[in-house]
Amino acid sequence: MGLLVFHNAWVAILTYHAGMAAVIFLSKPCIPFKQIIRVTNYKLLILSIAFGASGGVLLYLLWPMLSVPPDVNTYMRSIGLTTTVWPYFVAYYVLVNPVFEEYYWRGYLGSSMGRPVLNDFLFAGYHLIVLTGKMGEPWLVVVFLVLCGAAWYWRQISRLTGGLLVATLSHMAADVTVILSIYFLTATA
């Protein structure tokens, strides 16, 4: 079931986002809007979106090897991800989650360092809390390393472009392909 068990997926994600929002707005001035939407290189934008989308494609292709428990559908329903709720959860997860995460992890906690930093590992580690018990342990190590790389990449893109839009759209592409892969893989299982 994982280290952190929420009985409702909405409660989990809304709590996560409320925590980030509280930290951001109670402790430090907001990042200017023009910094958020800055795009200076459209080739980099397209490359970054393709990079993000590759996450869900890999998940879809590797699913049979991930040692996902056979009762994953039961678990998904137990946390409120029923066929009625899925479309709303997908929309929120794809449109809101990347904005919050990029603003928090690469904006508020951003770093100008070219090397990996603690925040890259913390971003990946948070996701491991959510995934523990939902795939085989060796894959958790792989996912952790991939997410560390993605966090570092999105931080570098934000640093190079001077804004969060490219990283956010790349993250959005990752979230849409990952969540749709999970939806189609579990809905047909």
Domain regions of the chain by residue span: 38-187
Distances in whole angstroms, Cα of residue 89 to Cα of each of 25, 71, 156, 181? 25, 20, 29, 14
**Cα–Cα distance for residue pair 49/53, rounded to 1 Å:** 6
Tokens matching residue 46: 């397209």
- Whether the pLDDT of residue 163 is over 80: the answer is yes
- Give the predicted TM-score (pTM) of the model: 0.88
Predicted local confidence at residue 66, as pLDDT = 85
Comparison of pLDDT for 160 and 78, the residue scoring more = 160
Other C-beta atoms within 10 Å of 42: how many?
9
Q: Does the pLDDT at position 7 exceed 70?
A: no
Residue 115, pLDDT above cutoff 80: yes
pLDDT at 130: 82
Could you tell me the pLDDT band of residue 119, with boundaries at 50, 70 and 90? very high
Given pLDDT bands bounded at 50, 70 and 90, which one contains residue 84?
Answer: confident
Percent of the chain with pLDDT over 90: 50
Q: How confident is the model at residue 4 (pLDDT cuts 50, 70, 90)?
A: very low
Angle subtended at Cα 126 by Cα 124 and Cα 131, rounded to the nearest 5 degrees:
90
